[in-house]
Amino acid sequence: MSDVIEKSVSVWALRWRRLAADPAALAGLAVLLILIAVCYAAPLFEAWLDVSATETDLLSRFDPPGGGHWLGSDDAGRDEFTRLLTGGQTSLSIGLLGALGSSLLGTIIGAIAGYARGKTDMVLMRITDGVISLPTLPLLIILAALDLSKLGFSQDFIRSGAAGYWRIVLIVTLLGWTGVARLVRAGTLALAEREFVLAARAQGAGSWWILTVHILPNAVSPVIVATTLAMGRVILAESALSFLGVGIQPPQTSWGSMLTNAQELIGTAPELAIYPGLLILISVIAINFLGDGLQAAFDPRSDAR
């Protein structure tokens, strides 16, 4: 047992050394952690600077940077800096929850398909192929524009910012699991006939035990990489939906909804569009750098290259 633990620790230590040797991946991780920390410190900045990201002040519309307004104010007199931080909380959390949700769903479907095989595998993979063939952006727009009142939700919930938030998380989860499902299925098929799995089955271990203890821990590497890369795609999807007006709705805000509000002010106040667009660009590039680094760190052939 101690040999197995030592081997496991050494494998993860090797992966960390590979990741630490990639400056782009470390830079991406650092930028992402800084963005998350600063965005969730928005209430502290509001109290420190004595400004508000939500309260309007028509006498302070389009104020230039200075005083408590580090980046000036928007068309409603709200502080632009803290509003960017508040919007970052929404965009980054949707990216994380959407990526985790789609990866979890894909892992479950891929593991069941790869372990059960036969008709179960065939049905689940045909469903996967069907979801992959759907036009993603038009379907996202249609689902995001559904009238929630006809689905039985209360008007209070529909008018709240939580409705748009959780609807986007649910939509990207239901449409983004297919890649992970294929990865996990392939890993499960390869591991299902390995000696340690056959030994566990011969000792009377159940399917659930074999999947959760023996197969999934050994197939988790590509899932971690796919989840990281999916976070950037989810942030872009949320930004696109919010920009088109079917995503995050007031009183909640996100980087995408800030772009929507700023599109009519491009000529008079272009910085209101530049700031959220730049943050979307930085966050997605940082996530992609980190994902590429994780992919190389988890690839056993990377040392040979």
Task: Give me the residue spans of the domains in the chain.
Answer: 2-54+67-298
> In whole angstroms, what is the distance from residue 186 CA to residue 229 CA?
19
- Say how many residues make up the chain: 305
Q: Is 259 exposed, middle or buried (0-12, 13-18, 19+ CB in 10 A)?
A: buried
Question: Is there a contact between 92 and 35 (Cβ–Cβ < 8 Å)?
Answer: yes
**In this structure, are residues 121 and 114 in contact, taking their beta carbons and an 8 Å threshold?**
yes
pLDDT digits (tens, 9 = 90+) for 171-208: 889 888 999 999 999 988 888 888 888 888 888 777 78
Express each pLDDT in 53-83 by its tens digit.
888 888 888 888 887 888 988 888 888 999 9
Name which residue leads in pLDDT, 305 or 141: 141
Q: How far apart are CA 248 and CA 91, in angstroms?
A: 9
* Orientation of helix 118-133 relative to helix 80-116, angle to 10°: 150
CA-closest candidate to residue 216, choices 198, 191, 194, 195: 191
DSSP state of 177: -
Tokens 């197995």, residue?
A: 4
Residue 240 CB partners (closer than 8 Å, separation 6+): 137, 140, 247, 256
Instruction: Give the confidence band of 106 by pLDDT, cuts at 50, 70, 90.
Output: very high
> For the residues 94-111, what does the mean pLDDT come to?
93
Are 294 and 43 in contact by the 8 Å Cβ rule? The answer is: no
The pLDDT, as a whole number, for residue 9 is: 53
Q: Which CATH architecture has domain 2-54+67-298?
A: Orthogonal Bundle (1.10)
Please state, in angstroms and rounded to a whole number, the distance separating the CA atoms of residues 165 and 145: 13
The pTM assigned to this predicted structure is 0.85
Name which residue leads in pLDDT, 14 or 94. 94
Q: Can you list the positions of beta strands (E) in 42-86?
A: none
Q: What amino acid occupies position 47?
A: A
Structure tokens at 206: 């159940």
Band of pLDDT at residue 138, cut at 50, 70 and 90: confident
Peptide bond into 251 cis (omega under 30): yes
* DSSP letter (8 states) at residue 196: H
